[in-house]
Amino acid sequence: MADLSTSYMELKLRNPLVVASCSLTNSVEGVQRCADAGAGAVVLKSLFEEQIEADTKELERHVWVAGHTEAYDYVRKIGIETNAQDYLNLLEKAKQAVAVPVIASLNCITPGWWTDYAKKIEAAGADAIELNVAVLPSDPRHSGRDIEQLYYRIVGDVKKNVKIPIAVKIGPYFTSMGNVASELSDKGAAALVLFNRFYQVDINIDKLNLVPGYRFSTPEEINFSLRWISLLSGRVKCDLAATTGVHDASGVIKQVLAGAATVQVCSTLYIHGIGHIANMLSNIEAWMKKHHFESVSEFRGRLSQKDSDRPELYERLQYIKALVGIE
Ligand SMILES: Cc1cc2nc3c(=O)[nH]c(=O)nc-3n(C[C@H](O)[C@H](O)[C@H](O)COP(=O)(O)O)c2cc1C
């Protein structure tokens, strides 16, 4: 039997396949189904700062608090706590229901706000926290450095308040990804989750309105995170988790070869069902057997840039015939 076990943020996982934060992990039954299908760990659906803000504003509409700072603060606190409590209940029940690590997910867009939650999440038994930090840098007054500092402050604030490991899930839109990754690791991230695939916007040209874009990734989308996992592997202190575009066993294997400690899947489970996890795991085992690997650690990072004798291959950006054979 091949040994698929892996270590992620010092948590021991039976295999590197992790169910990403999404609606499949928004209920105890969903979490249980993922664990029963063989997932190595589960990331709960994010608790969203904006959702809590919206729910709290709705609550404020029903209570007259204008001009009363104290009353306003009180109503706000209740709104926040009610929402957080539902999430903590889910976390506690999920922890009781499954033996695999359960990672809570907080969506953060402003610093400070999350520190109390993070403590509560730790107390409720989460094995780790994934910070889903997503700031759309649309305000022309904010420089790249301002935005990066915001990310660092959020991670630093949460890190100060909890002992459980913190993973930081980010999108791909940074000017200096290598520097950002290394700073996040220095600020206390035990892992980086690369890269979130955000909600997309599309336009309906008949109705002349905005509509949601296609929800799911395609296998072709794997290449961006594959490149960055392979570039950063062994170069940042923290672990790396891959997300976006992993749809089958070959996607998981590629990301582990590039250096990922874990590989998160989401779209493929919506498309093929949660049972697809077992299918992917048995295909990974078959590949390991074919290549005479007995454990995942034997091939993790084998194709990272750091261990390559052709490091320049990882950095090619242009279609130049002399370099890549394509123009
Ligand atoms: C319906 C849906 C809901 C999602 N909800 C969250 C979420 O709450 N928090 C989060 O960090 N990512 C969320 N994601 C992003 C996924 O966790 C994942 O990173 C992304 O879909 C890319 O992986 P994939 O190619 O395997 O789908 C969601 C994705 C989908 C499709």
pTM over 0.85: yes
- With a 6 A CB cut-off, is 96 part of the ligand 1 pocket? no
Write the Ramachandran bin of 169: left for phi over 0, alpha for psi from -120 to 50, otherwise beta.
beta
Place of tokens 């290549």: 291
What's the CA angle centered on 155, arms 154 and 160, to 5 degrees?
A: 105
In contact, 132 and 170? CB cutoff 8 Å? no
Label residue 135 by pLDDT band (50, 70, 90). confident
In contact, 255 and 225? CB cutoff 8 Å? yes
- With a 6 A CB cut-off, is 244 part of the ligand 1 pocket? yes
Least trusted range by pLDDT, from 14-23, 24-33, 80-89, 155-164: 80-89
- With a 6 A CB cut-off, is 22 part of the ligand 1 pocket? yes
Q: Is 115 exposed, middle or buried (0-12, 13-18, 19+ CB in 10 A)?
A: middle
| CB-based contacts of 104, cutoff 8 Å, min separation 6 | 43, 44, 47, 87, 91, 121, 124, 126, 128, 129, 130
Label residue 134 by pLDDT band (50, 70, 90). confident
Pairwise CA distance, residues 318 & 320, whole Å: 6
In contact, 274 and 280? CB cutoff 8 Å? no
Residue nearest to atom 23 of ligand 1 (CA): 244
- Average pLDDT, rounded, for the chain: 91
What is the tens place of the pLDDT at every residue in 77-93? 666 666 788 999 999 99
